[in-house]
Amino acid sequence: MRAGGPSDLEPAELIMFSDIDPRSPTPLYEQIAARVRLAIAAGDLGCEDSLPSVRALARDLRVNPATVVQAYRDLAADGFVEIRHGQGTFVQEVSAFLRDEERASRAQQMVRRLLEDGARLGIGVEELSRAFSAEAGAKISE
């Protein structure tokens, strides 16, 4: 454990939290919780995998420990993780339904942002969907 030394987190954990943005209006605890939920939905985190300790994550992301605690509590309340006192925080068996729901809500967010950006630039749904088909078509034929 060194304040200035290499991180205590696993490389995969570092990548998971790498794009936390303190300047975003989305609260940091929501961002942290969202990263964990996404990792669970994507299968990167499986049942009984442990999350980084509050102390290690707070030190590594240089965020308030209370922020990490809040994120983990929210995840526990939603049934994604279980907080075992003195042992750590562990990923729960997440039902396929919950996982699909998470993926769907993620997809919805992505589309919503796209539409908002489009509206700001005056690009309508039709134009966007044409671009979408073209891009998706290009990806498939690659």
Chain residues binding another protein by CB under 8 A are 1-5, 22-25, 27-28, 54-55, 58-67, 120
> Which residue lies nearer to another protein by CB, 53 or 92?
53
Give residues with Cβ within 8 angstroms of 91, minimum separation 6. 40, 45, 46, 47, 48, 49, 50, 51, 80, 81
Rounded-to-integer distance, Cα 139 and Cα 142, Å: 5
Taking the complex as a whole, the smallest distance from the CB of residue 59 to another protein amounts, in Å, to 5
Rounded-to-integer distance, Cα 22 and Cα 62, Å: 10
Taking the complex as a whole, the smallest distance from the CB of residue 54 to another protein amounts, in Å, to 6
> Which residue lies nearer to another protein by CB, 41 or 52?
52
> Which residue lies nearer to another protein by CB, 40 or 57?
57
Rounded-to-integer distance, Cα 91 and Cα 80, Å: 6
Beta bridge partners of residue 89, listed in sequence order = 83
> Which residue lies nearer to another protein by CB, 67 or 89?
67
Taking the complex as a whole, the smallest distance from the CB of residue 135 to another protein amounts, in Å, to 27
